[in-house]
Structure 1
Amino acid sequence: MTGGRVAVVGGGVIGLSVACHLAEAGADTVLLERHGLGSGASRATADVLRAYFPGNPVSSAMAVRSLAAYRAFAGRTGTPLPLRRVGYLVLFTEPEQVAAFEDDLPAQRAAGVDVRPIGAAEARGRNPLIGDIGLLAAAWSPQAYVSDTAAIVGGFAAAARRAGADLRTGCPVTGIDVPAGRLATTGGTLAADAIVCAAGAWSVPLARAAGVELPLAEPVEQELLATGPPPSGDPVPDIPITLRAGSGLLVRKRGDGLLVGMGYPGPDREEWRERVRAELAATYPSLDGAGLRTAFTGVRDASPDRTAFIGGVPGDRPFLYAAGFSGHGLCTAPAAGELVRDLYLGREPDFDVRRLAATAQRG
C-alpha cells in the first residue's frame, strides 16, 4: 500500500523513526503521542549506541545497520549528533559464560559485529576500575558510543516534520478499529488508512484490538542510577561501557562518577538498590561508598527473548507494529523505521523481518 494516511501511535524514538521514514517515503503521516515526544522509555536511556548484544544476533544485526544511519544522522536530519567512541566490554567470571560467548561468536560476526575475545589482563587495561572478581576473560567490541538521546529524538522529529509528518503530542489513543480505519483519541476520532503501533509499554491492548497478540511482559519501570566520585578523590578514568555477565551490571563513565544499570527494580526498589550497591562494590571497589542516586526512570516494554517484534497484518487497511524493544530501542531505531516503512510500502526488506513477527518461533 502506498497511498492514504498512516497513523503512528507512539512518540518515542521508535515511533519517531517510523514516522520519519514513512514521511520521507511520501506517506501522509500523523503521529499520536499521549505525553511529550521521547517521554517514555526514550527518557530512561544511558545514551549508549552499541552493535554487540550478547546472545542476540538479531538485535545485533539491526544495531549494526542503525549505527551506519547514526553516523549519517546530521546530514540527513540537520541535527548534529555526538558519537564519542568508548567501546563495549563484557566481563566473564564463569567458564560457562566464556563457552556461551564462543558459541555465539560466529552468529555475531555474521551479523556484522566487530567483537573478539580478550584476556583478563587486556580487560583490566581497558577498565582499570575492575576489582578482584575472578575475571577469566572478556569480550571486546569497539562499536560502542556515548551519544545524546534527546538529540536523536529531536532529529527524527525535525526530519519527520520537514517531510510533512504531523506530530501531535498530548493526544492519547484510547482505542482503534482497524477495519473501519478509525482511532479513538481524547481529542476525537481520527481516520487512517493504515495504523502503526509503536506505543512501547502500552502496545499490547492496541495490538490486541487488531487481532495481534504481542507476548510482552507487563510494563516495567527502568531505573538508571548514578554514583558520586570515588571516595579516594581519584578521577574516574575513561572506561568502556562495561557489562558484567551474570549479574547484568552495566556501567559507563558519566561526569565524575558512573552511570549504573542492572535489570529492573521490581516491586521492592530498596532491595534492588541494595543488590546493585553490593554488586557495584564487588566489581568496582574504588566506587564503594560513592553513593547511588536516581539518574533516570522510564517505563519499558520487554519481550520474552529481549528481541523486538516487528510485523504486520495486511489488508485494505493494514496494521503494523514495532514493540518489545526491551531497552534496545535507541540502538535499533533507524533499522526499525526502515523495516516498518518497507512493510508498509510492500517492499521486500533486505533483512529477514519474518523472524521478528509476533507469530515467529523464537528462542
Structure 2
Amino acid sequence: MPGAEKTSSALPARADAVVIGGGVIGTSAAYHLAAAGVNTVLLERGGLGGGASAHTAGMVRTYFPGAPSTGRRAVRSLNAYHDFARHTAAPLAMRRLGFMVLFTDARQIADFEAEQQAQRAVGVEVCLISAREAAELNPLVDERAVLAAAWSPQAYHVDGLDIVRGYAAAARNHGARLFTHTPVTRIEDDHTVHTPQGSIKADAIVCTAGPWSGEVAGMASVDLPLAPRTMEMLFTDVPPSPHREIPMTMHAASGLRIRSWKDRILLAMGAPKEGEAREAWLGRVAGHLGTLFPALDGIGLHRAWSGDFDASPDNTALIGEHPTRRFLYAAGFTGAGLCQAPAAGEELRDLLIVK
C-alpha cells in the first residue's frame, strides 16, 4: 500500500498529531493535516483500508433521508472527489448511478416533503418522482408496490480503496509517516501513545479508528457514545433475465438497498437482529426483495462480505474535540464514511490548527 511504512521502521519520538486508524477517514485526516504543515504520524492496526472502508457498497451519495447535516458534509465531500486528482495526483474513477428511495407509506412522502427544502439548502439534489418514473429508472421496481420515490442523481460508484490509497500517498508526499500493523495498546495522560513497535509522544491525538474508536477513546479516558453495528452484504444469483445497470435503490420502510454489481445484484439490509436466526433474517430480506422487485423473487442469496461499523446513537457522525485535552475524533459514520471523508478530514484539520 503506497504511503505505508514497513512495520520494522522505528516510530519517531514525537509528532504534532498522531492519527489512530488508517481507513478512509484516517487517511483523509492525515492528508489534510500534513498538507497544512502539521507533523503527522498515522498508526493503523492492520493494513490501510482493511476495516470498514473495505466492506461497503462502494457508493458515494449526498442524499441522506432525515439528515440534512450529513448531506451538507457529503456535498462538500463529493465536490472534493470530483477534484481528487488535482489534490492527490491520484485519478479517481467515478461512475454515476444515482440514488432512489422507495416510499410505500404516505407518511414517508410527507416526511420527505417536510425536509426537502432543508436538503436542497445544503446542496443536495433530490426530488419526488412517481412510481412509474421510479420503474423507468430501475426496471426491477414493481410500480404497483410503491407510492412514489425520492430521486437524487448525486450518487456514484467508487472504489473506497482508491480513495484510501490516494490520500495515503498524498499524505506521505506532504511529510506524514504512516505505519501499518501497529496497534495502539495504551495512551497516557500526556498523549504518549504506546504500540508493540514503540511509543510516540503527540501534541494531539486524532481518533479515526472506525468500530474501534470507542476502545481507543477509552484508552485516553474519553467517552464516545458509539456502538459497533454489523452489516452483511449479499449477492444474488445471476438474474434469469439480463438487466441494465440500475441506480442504488433503497426501501424506506425496511432499509433494504440494492444496486448492480457486474452481472448480479448486491444488496444489504443490516444483519440478523439479536436472537434472530440467520435463515429468518434471510427470509425477511427475500420477502421484501420479492415484493418490491418481482423479477428477483425467489432468487438465491449468498454472503458477499460482512463487517462492523461504528454507529452513534442517532446515526450521525461525531466529529469534535474533548473539552479539556487535545483528543480529536471522527467516528460514528455507520458505513457512510466514504461519503463524508474529505469534509471530515477538513473539519479535523480546522479543529486542530485553529487554536
TM-score, with structure 2 as normaliser: 0.92
Q: What residue in structure 2 maps to residue 356 of structure 1?
A: none
| Structure-2 separation of matches of 1:294 and 1:263 | 13
Residues 1:289 and 1:148: Cα distance change in structure 2 (over 3 Å): same
| Structure-2 separation of matches of 1:75 and 1:290 | 44
Asked whether the equivalents of residues 134 and 143 of structure 2 are also in contact (C-alpha less than 8 Å), the reply is no
| Structure-1 separation of matches of 2:285 and 2:139 | 20
Q: What residue in structure 2 maps to residue 351 of structure 1?
A: none
Residues 1:35 and 1:269: Cα distance change in structure 2 (over 3 Å): farther
Asked whether the equivalents of residues 220 and 266 of structure 1 are also in contact (C-alpha less than 8 Å), the reply is no
Q: Alpha-carbon deviation of 1:187?
A: 1.9
| Structure-2 separation of matches of 1:166 and 1:91 | 45
Q: What residue in structure 1 maps to residue 320 of structure 2?
A: 311
Residues 1:77 and 1:51: Cα distance change in structure 2 (over 3 Å): same
| Structure-2 separation of matches of 1:182 and 1:126 | 54
Asked whether the equivalents of residues 20 and 156 of structure 1 are also in contact (C-alpha less than 8 Å), the reply is yes
| Structure-2 separation of matches of 1:192 and 1:204 | 19
Q: Alpha-carbon deviation of 1:296?
A: 2.1
SS of residue paired to 2:311 = coil
| Structure-2 separation of matches of 1:212 and 1:111 | 31
How many residues of Structure 1 are paired with residues of Structure 2 in the alignment?
Answer: 340
Residue 181 of structure 2, aligned match among 136, 158, 170: 170
| Structure-2 separation of matches of 1:295 and 1:74 | 30
Residue 203 of structure 2, aligned match among 190, 193, 211: 193
Q: Alpha-carbon deviation of 1:156?
A: 0.9
After TM superposition, list the pairs within 5 Å mapping 1:31-50 onto structure 2: 31-50=42-61
Q: Alpha-carbon deviation of 1:254?
A: 0.7
| 1:225-258 superposed Cα distances (whole Å, 9 cap, x missing partner) | 1112213xx2122221111110101111111111
Give the gaps of 5 or more residues in structure 1: 348-363
- Aligned pair 1:19/2:27, yes or no? no
After TM superposition, list the pairs within 5 Å mapping 1:112-131 onto structure 2: 112-131=123-142
Q: What residue in structure 2 maps to residue 323 of structure 1?
A: 331
- Aligned pair 1:79/2:118, yes or no? no
SS of residue paired to 1:38 = coil
Q: Alpha-carbon deviation of 1:68?
A: 0.2
| Structure-2 separation of matches of 1:264 and 1:106 | 33
Q: Alpha-carbon deviation of 1:132?
A: 5.6
| Structure-2 separation of matches of 1:209 and 1:276 | 39
Q: What residue in structure 2 maps to residue 357 of structure 1?
A: none
Give the gaps of 5 or more residues in structure 2: 1-13
Q: Alpha-carbon deviation of 1:162?
A: 1.0
Q: What residue in structure 2 maps to residue 225 of structure 1?
A: 234
SS of residue paired to 1:30 = strand
Q: Alpha-carbon deviation of 1:223?
A: 1.3
Q: Alpha-carbon deviation of 1:287?
A: 1.5
| Structure-1 separation of matches of 2:29 and 2:272 | 30
Q: What residue in structure 1 maps to residue 343 of structure 2?
A: 335
RMSD over aligned Cα atoms: 1.6
User: 2:321 corresponds to which letter in structure 1?
Assistant: G
| Structure-2 separation of matches of 1:27 and 1:266 | 43
SS of residue paired to 1:190 = strand
SS of residue paired to 1:21 = helix
| Structure-2 separation of matches of 1:260 and 1:328 | 15
| Structure-2 separation of matches of 1:342 and 1:198 | 15
- Identical pairs, percent: 54
Q: Alpha-carbon deviation of 1:211?
A: 4.1
